[in-house]
Homo-oligomer: A and B are copies of this chain.
Amino acid sequence: MSAIGVFDSGVGGLTVARELISQLPNENIVYFGDTARVPYGIKSPETVIRFSIENILFLLKQDVKLICVACNTASSFALPVIKNHFRVPIVGVISPGVREAVYATQNKRIGVIGTKGTIKSRTYETEIKQLDSQVKVTAVSCPLFVPFVEEGWLKGEVVLSVAKTYLKPLKDAQVDTVILGCTHYPLLKSVIQEVLGKGVILIDSAKQVAFEVKRILSSEDLLNRGKGGKNKFYVSDNPEWFSSLAERFIGKRLINVKKVDLT
């Protein structure tokens, strides 16, 4: 039975996989983490596009019926270019978050945080403006957040201090809604909320992405009618490292993570 393919530069996309498993428990999921070339957030558009295409070709070989780009950097750079190149629908993580944020904001001031690549691409800003040209967008990159999450520094004075520095422009702009534009950031939600204040809505797009996948599969009559989906996890390097981090992202231990060679 065809599966939902999901790829990310590494472990971050597991926050999306987790929502897919929760909302679509009867679907098979094939996850690919490009751990040999992680991270994508500091790399150029051309390189991220090339890596994304290679990841998609790998997933297509695994008999997938839809591909979810569970990485904001890849979604920002690659999705606009490759969206219609392949024989299956491709869903990114940008648009679902944008729709929710535009719906949620009251004062029409939205903050966006992400990797350097995501912020530089201005994809969030473009998509928000397309939905509502009145919204004022303040976008900042938070390059130390990913290393902090991967090292397990999820709270404490050090992370709080870094978060205060990064998020100051968002506070100054008095945003009432902030998009967590990187799949790692939901793990820092409590620190980010503490810095921004309780009144600010944090948008974690994983839920919305899973809704979108469900909607497409349903409208194209592609939902699995069997019971109990199976999940497979592949990486391009270091399955042990991936497994050890995975629990933090997907809420359970992953066994049988397989290494594959893309290049």
Contacts and interface: CB of A to CB of B under 8 A. Distances in A.
A58 interface: no
10 contacts: A35-B43, A42-B150, A42-B238, A44-B241, A47-B236, A47-B237, A47-B238, A143-B147, A144-B153, A158-B158
Interface string A227-250: 000000000111001000000000
A263 interface: yes
Nearest to A35: B43
Contacts of A238: 42-44, 47
A37 interface: yes
A36 interface: yes
In the assembly, how many copies of this chain are there?
A: 2
A151 interface: yes
B43 A237 contact: yes
Q: Size band of the A side of the interface?
A: 20 to 34
Nearest to A51: B36
Contacts of A46: 237
Contacts of A35: 43
A162 interface: yes
A157 interface: yes
Interface in A105-136: none
Given A42-B238, A144-B148, A161 B157 contact: yes
Given A36-B47, A144-B148, A147-B147, 13 more contacts: A36-B43, A37-B37, A38-B42, A42-B150, A42-B238, A44-B237, A44-B238, A47-B237, A143-B150, A143-B151, A144-B147, A158-B162, A263-B263
A139 to B, nearest CB: 17
A49 B75 CA distance: 30
Interface string A131-174: 00000000000011001101101000110011000000000000
A241 B42 contact: yes
A34 to B, nearest CB: 10
Interface in A16-38: 35-38
